[in-house]
Structure 1
Amino acid sequence: MNSNQPSIAIPSSISGTAAALITVLLWASAFPFIRIGLRGFEPIPLAALRFSIAAVLMLAWIAWRRPHLPSSRHIPRLVACAAFGVAAYNMLLNIGQQTVSAGAASFIVNTVPVITALLAILFLGERFRFWAWAGTAISFAGIAVIASGQPGGLRFGNGATLVLAAAACQAAFFILQRPAVVAYGGPVCAALVVCFGAACLAPWLPTALRQAAAAPASVTLAVVYLGIFPAAIGYATWGSAQAHFGASRAANFLYLVPPVATGLAVALAGETPGWLTLAGGALAIAGVALVNTLGRR
C-alpha cells in the first residue's frame, strides 16, 4: 500500500477485510441453503435457477459498469471455467448434498487448495515439498473420516465422492481462470463465468420453473437467496478481497467457511454435526493449512 496515502489506508484495509468476511458468510450459507432448496427442487434444476438469477444480476452489472471485456481468444477458456466451476461443480455438489450434510460438504469442499496444488503439479509443472505431500495426506485422511459418517462412505458414486469430485472441478476452475484473471481482473471474469455457467445449465431451467411453481415458498426463496447472495454478491466481494489482499492471502479467509457453514446448518437446517464430521473436518483444515504454509517454503 502506498505510504504517501495515509488517509485511505485504514478505510481500504477495512473494506478489504469486510469483503473477505462477507464472502465467507455468504459462501458458508450456501451449504445449508442448498439442503433447504433440495426439499423442493431436483439438484440440477436447482443449480439452473440459482445461476439464471445470478446471471441476470451479472449482466446488469456489465451493462452498468461497461468494463473492458476479454478478447475472443480468452472466451473458450472462460467457457471452460464455467463448465467446471459453475455447471459441473454445482451439479455434483447438489447431487452429493442430497445425502451429505451441509457441514460435511463444506469441509470436503474446503480441500480445494490441496487439489489445486496437485493439478498444478500435473499440468503446470509445479513441485511439491515434503510438507505439502504430508498436508495432502492429512487432508484426504480427514475426508475419509468425514465420509465414514455419511451414507455410502467413500464408495464411488455416493454423496461424499460426488462432493469431492465437485471440489476437483472447482480446483480445475481455479487453474484455468488464472491467465484471464491476470489479464482482465477478477470481477469481469467472475461475471462472465457466471453467465456462461448459467447458459450451460439453461436446458434444466424450464424444469426448475415448473418445480418452483409447486415448491413451498420458503424453499423457492432459499434458491433465490442462493442466486443473489452466495452466487452474485459472493463472487463480487471475493473479487474485491482478492484485489486487496492478493489471491494467496485472501484464500486464508476461506478456512473460516466450514465452521461457519456448520454453525449455520445447525441454525437454518437443523443439522447437528457428528463427531466424525468435526474430527475429519479438523484434519482436512489442518492439511490444507500445512500445504499453504510449510508446503510453500
Structure 2
Amino acid sequence: MTQSRPTLLPALAIATTILVWATAFPAIKLALTELQPLPLASIRYAIAALLAVFWLIWTRPVRMPFRHLLLCAACGIVGGAGYSVLLNIGQQTVAAGAASFLIKTESLWMATLAVLLLKERFSPIAWGGTLLCIVGIGLIASAQAGGLTLNSGAAFVLAAALCSASGFTVQRHLVARYGALHVAAIMFIAAALALSPWLPLALTQTGNATTTVRIWIAFLGVFPTAIGLVCWAYALGRFGVARAGNFLYLIAPLAMLIAWMIAGEPPKTTTVMGGMLILAGVIIVNTRGKAATPQIQTMAEVPVTDPAKG
C-alpha cells in the first residue's frame, strides 16, 4: 500500500484538476442564466480571494519585492479578471464545449507573444500547427451566434484566451521564483479588488438566484480556482511540467461531454471537428515547435487561470 501512494496521489490530483477545470465551462454557462457576466466574475474572485487571504495568513510566504508584487497584481487583473469577464461575456452566446476548445488557443497565443516580444523563432511545422488552429477556430465560430465578428461571443472567448496567455507569459519567472500558489494568491486578490465595484450587484443577484445557481457559483469560486490550483501544483511537482501538461488536452473534450450531460448542450459536428483541429495544432506548436521556442510552457485556467481555468 505504501508503494502505491506516490503514484496514486499524483494521479488523483491530476484527475481532480482536469475534472474541475472541465466542469467550469458548463458551470459558467448555468450561472449566467441568473447572473450578469461582470457580477459573476466579481463574486467568483471574491470567494477565491478570501481563500487566498487565509492561505497567506496560514503559510506566511516570503514577502515579494514591491515591483514583483505590482507585476503579480497586473497579471491578476489581466489574466484573472480580464479573462473571466471576457469568457463570461463570450459564453452568453457560445456553447460551453465550444468555449473550452477556443480557450485552448491560449498556448498558441503564448507562442505568438514569445515570437513578437521575446524574438523567439517559429519553426515551419509550428506555423503549420498554427494554421490548423485557425481553421479549427473558423469551424467552431461558424456554428456560434455572430460567427467571428468583432462583437461576437467567439471573439470574446478568443480575447479571454489572449488575456490568459498574456498573464501566464508575464508570470512565468514569478512562478519559478515564488511558487505557483503564492503567485496565484496575489493574482486572486488583485482580480477581486479590480472587480469589487460589481460585488454588491453580484451579492444581490446571487441572493435572488435559485439554489442550483448558487451552488454553481460557489463551485466556481472554490473548485476550479483554489482546489484545482492546489491539485495542479502538486501534480506538477510529481509529474513535471511537460508530462502534466499533456493531460490538459483532455479538458476540452471532457468539458464538451459534461456540458452535454448537465447543461443540455449536445456537441455540434463543427465543434468536434474544429476542436480536434485546435488540439492538433496546439500539440504541434508545443511539441514539434519546441526546438524553436524552448521557453514556452503550457499552463492552465487558473487561472487561474482559472486556468481555467474556466
| TM bin (shorter chain) | over 0.9
Q: 1:129 to 1:106 in 2, by over 3 A?
A: same
- 1:157-214 superposed Cα distances (whole Å, 9 cap, x missing partner): 1000100000000000110111111111111111111111111111110010111121
Cα distance per residue 1:110-133 (max 9 Å; x no partner): 111111110111111211111111
> Cα distance, 1:31 vs. partner?
0.2
Kindly indicate whether the alpha-carbon contact (under 8 Å) linking 1:24 and 1:254 is maintained by their aligned counterparts in 2. Answer: yes
Q: 1:9 to 1:169 in 2, by over 3 A?
A: farther
Matches within 5 A, 1:245-256: 245-256=239-250
Q: What is the CA–CA distance in structure 1 between the aligned matches of 2:3 and 2:157, rounded to whole Å?
A: 40
Give the percent of matched residue pairs that are identical in Structure 1 and Structure 2.
45
Match of 1:46 in 2: 40
Distance 1:200 1:236 in 2: 23
Shift of 1:10: 5.3
2:253 is aligned to 259
CA displacement at 1:9 relative to structure 2: 7.6
TM-score by length of 2: 0.90
Instruction: Give distance in 1, aligned partners of 2:7 and 2:107.
Output: 25
Residues 74-100 of structure 1: CA distance to partner in whole angstroms, max 9, x if unpaired?
Answer: 011101110111110000000000000
Alignment partner, residue 104 of structure 2? 110
Amino acid at match of 1:70: M
**Corresponding residue for residue 24 of structure 2:** 30
TM-score (norm 1): 0.94
- Partner SS state of residue 132, structure 2: helix
- Distance in 2 (alpha carbons) for counterparts of 1:22 and 1:112: 21
Out of 133, 142, 152, the residue aligned to residue 139 of structure 1 is 133
What is the CA deviation profile of residues 46-78 of structure 1, one whole-angstrom value per residue up to 9, with x for unaligned ones? 010011011111111121222223221201110
Q: Are 1:69 and 1:184, in contact at CA under 8 Å, matched by a contact in 2?
A: no
1:18 aligns with 2:12: yes
Q: Does 1:120 align with 2:114?
A: yes
Name 2:300's counterpart in structure 1: none
Matched, 1:77 2:71: yes
Gaps in structure 1 of 5+ consecutive residues: 1-6
Equivalents in 2 of 1:16, 1:126: separation in Å?
A: 33
Distance 1:173 1:15 in 2: 29
SS of match in other structure, 1:295: coil
Q: Please name the residue that 1:4 is paired with.
A: none
Alpha-carbon separation, structure 1, partners of 2:2 and 2:183? 27
The equivalent of 2:296 in structure 1 is none
**Counterpart residue type for residue 92 of structure 1:** L
Query: For residue 264 of structure 2, what is the amino acid of its counterpart?
Result: G
Give the SS at the match of 2:289.
helix
Q: Which deviates the most, 116-125 or 246-255?
A: 246-255
1:150 alignment partner in structure 2: 144
Corresponding residue of 1:215 = 209
Aligned to 1:95: 89
The separation in 2 between residues aligned to 1:201 and 1:244, in whole angstroms, is 34
RMSD: 1.5
Give the whole-Å Cα distance in 2 for the aligned partners of 1:88 and 1:283.
26
Deviation of the 1:8 alpha carbon: 8.1
Instruction: Name the residue aligned to 1:68.
Output: 62
1:175 & 1:104 partners in 2: Cα distance?
24
- Write the distance in 1 (CA, Å) between the matches of 2:10 and 2:61: 21
After superposition, the C-alpha distances for 1:100-157 in whole angstroms (9 at most, x for unaligned) are 0000000000111111110111111211111111101101110110000000110111
Q: Is 1:226 equivalent to 2:215 in the alignment?
A: no
**More divergent stretch after superposition (202-211 vs 55-64):** 55-64
Give, in angstroms, the shift of residue 224 of structure 1: 0.8
Give, in whole Å, the separation in 2 of the partners of 1:238 and 1:194: 16
Name structure 2 gaps, 5 residues minimum.
292-310
Per-residue deviation at 1:248?
Answer: 3.1
Question: Once the 2 structures are TM-superposed, how far is the Cα of residue 249 of structure 1 from its aligned partner?
Answer: 2.8
- What CA distance in whole angstroms lies between the structure 2 residues aligned with 1:194 and 1:163? 20
Determine the C-alpha separation between the residues in 1 that align with 2:14 and 2:250.
10
Distance in 2 separating the partners of 1:24 and 1:105: 16
Asked if 1:174 corresponds to 2:168, the answer is yes
Q: Which residue of 272, 276, 301 maps to 1:282? A: 276
Greater percentage in helix: 1
Which residue does 1:269 correspond to in 2?
263
Q: Tell me, yes or no, if the aligned pair for 1:45 and 1:205 is still in contact at 8 Å.
A: yes
